Amino acid sequence: MTSPRHALVTGGSSGIGKSVARRLASAGHTVTICGRDSERLQQAAKELSEQGAPVTSLIADVSKPRQVGDLVREAVETNGPLGILVNNAGRNGGGRTAELSDELWREVLSTNLDSVFYVTREVLARGGIGEVDHARIINIASTAGKQGVLLAAPYSASKHGVVGFTKAVGKELAPQGITVNAVCPGYVETPMASRVRQAYADAWETTEAEVLSAFEAKIPLGRYSTPDEVASLVEYLTTEGAASITAQAFNVCGGLGNF
């Protein structure tokens, strides 16, 4: 039996984050989701509630340290000390390296990597996670955090950083019984996936459908993973049965990567 805890899921208004929130709420945890877009966040909270997975929704840009402080304080005041943190907020971004702007580079690194540091630091310092039994930190990285991805240098760099951060902090927090792991999705059918395919289609002067076929051909299972399949692993890592798993990075990718 897994003890119920308060879980914070960043980037919880769509895709993997929303699926993670649904699974954790359905498992009996109290869930707070955050996002930058108020309308999307409210819609996600409404959908989850209608599906029997009620959540608290808070607006925050987790790439901004001051907003992260406000987010964690309000989450704790509303639902109590945090016992689960899922750092999911992220964005795509890339192109030919010689043509990348400083702004794109910084935005991708700030959203995908800096946010993981900011939220983790705040939860450790002021989120009460050290007071909770079976505390968990789970970072959503990517198979791009283990290998280079063509025309995605900023994204690959940011996700490699998330994997390294996970392994370092996992060792640091192990004596406190707080486990820290990364989940590394491959191709997952989310709203972001469609944007990524269109970006490649533009770069290669082809169609999104052709890009989809090319990507699916690389996956041994022959299809994209689903957000719920990724969320299923996240949920498992929050259980008491996963108490000895820490400082690891697990792929959910249909066999795309075996590293």
Active site residues: 155
Comparing C-alpha atoms, which of 259, 182, 183, 187 is closest to residue 226?
A: 187
Element of type H or E holding 78: helix 65-79
* Positive or negative: CA dihedral 95, 90, 217, 163: positive
Q: End-to-end CA distance of the chain: give it in Å, rounded.
A: 32
Q: Confirm if 62 and 113 have CB atoms less than 8 A apart.
A: no
**Kind and range of the H or E run holding 48:** helix 38-50
Q: Which residues pair with residue 7 across a beta bridge?
A: 31, 84
CA 78, CA 84: separation in Å to the nearest integer? Answer: 15
